[in-house]
Amino acid sequence: MSHYYFLPHQRIDDMLALLQADGYRCVAPRHHDSEINYDTINKAKDLPWGYHDKQQPGHYELSKSDHQHAFGFTLPTASVKPMLFKAKENVWKVQRNSEGKLAFEPIVEFEAIAVFGVRPCDLRGIEIQDRVFMENSYNDIRYIKRREHQFLIAMNCTKAHSNCFCVALGDSPHADKGFDLAMTELEGDGFVVEIGSDKGRHLLDRLNLEAATGGQAQRAVHKVEQAAIQQTKSLPPIKQIEAKLMANLEHPQWDDVASRCLSCGSCTQACPTCFCHTERDEANVLGTETHHTREWDSCFSIDHSYTHGETYRENPKYRYRQWLTHKFSTWRDQFRTKGCVGCGRCVTWCPVKIDVVDEINTICK
Partner 1 sequence: MLYTNDAYTPYEAEIVEFIKEHHDIFTIRLKFTDPALENKYFFRPGQFNMIYLYGIGEVAISIVNDRNHQQGRFEHTIQVVGRITKGMMKLNTGDKVGIRGPFGTSWPMSEAKGKDVIIVTGGLGNAPLVAATEEILRNRDQYGKLCVLHGIRSSDLLIYEDMYTRWNNSPDTKVYMATSNSDPVDNGKWTWGHGYVTNFIPQLDVDFANSIVMTVGPEPMMIGVAKSFIQAGVKPENVYVSLERSMKCAIGHCGHCQLGSQFICKDGAVYPYPACEKLLEVKGL
Considering only residues 141 to 200 of the shown chain, the ones binding partner 1 according to CB under 8 A are 141
Which of 276, 337, 358, 362 forms a contact with partner 1 (CB under 8 A)? 276
At 88, which amino acid appears? K
Cβ of residue 328: shortest distance to partner 1, in angstroms?
A: 12
**CA–CA distances in Å: residue 152 to residues 44, 71, 76, 100, 182:** 17, 16, 15, 46, 8
Cβ nearer to partner 1, comparing 176 with 297: 297
Q: Give helix 356-363 / helix 252-260 axis angle, nearest 10°.
A: 160
Q: Does 2 contact partner 1 by CB under 8 A?
A: no
Q: Is 218 in the site for partner 1 (CB under 8 A)?
A: no
Least distance in Å: CB of 216 to partner 1?
44
Classify 287 in phi/psi space as left (phi over 0), alpha (psi -120 to 50) or beta: left
Asked whether 186 and 220 are in contact (CB, 8 A), the reply is yes
Cα separation, 97 vs 165, in Å, equals 55
Closer to partner 1 by Cβ: residue 39 or 312? 312
User: Any idea of the CA torsion for 53, 117, 264, 344, to the nearest 10 degrees?
Assistant: -60
Q: Is 139 in the site for partner 1 (CB under 8 A)?
A: yes
Asked if residue 279 binds partner 1 (CB under 8 A), the reply is yes
Q: Is 315 in the site for partner 1 (CB under 8 A)?
A: yes
Which residue of 214, 215, 309, 336 would you call a contact of partner 1, by CB under 8 A? Answer: 309
Using rule CB under 8 A, residue 132 touches partner 1: yes
Task: Please state the closest distance from residue 364 (CB atom) to partner 1, in A.
Answer: 18
Minimum CB–partner distance for residue 319 and partner 1 (Å): 8
Contact between 363 and partner 1 by CB under 8 A: the answer reads: no
Instruction: Verify binding: residue 352, partner 1, rule CB under 8 A.
Output: no
Q: Is 60 in the site for partner 1 (CB under 8 A)?
A: no
Give me the least distance between CB of 43 and partner 1, in Å please.
Answer: 38
96 binds partner 1 (CB under 8 A): yes
302 scored as a contact of partner 1 (CB under 8 A): no
CB 129, min distance to partner 1, A: 10
133 is an interface residue for partner 1 by CB under 8 A: yes
Q: Does 84 bind partner 1 (CB under 8 A)?
A: no
User: Among 304, 327, 338, 345, which residue sits at the site for partner 1 (rule: CB under 8 A)?
Assistant: 304
326 binds partner 1 (CB under 8 A): yes
Residues of this chain that bind partner 1 (CB under 8 A): 91-92, 94, 96, 100-106, 108, 132-133, 136-141, 246, 249, 275-281, 283, 287, 290, 292, 294, 297, 299, 304-309, 312-315, 317-318, 321-322, 325-326, 329-330, 333-334
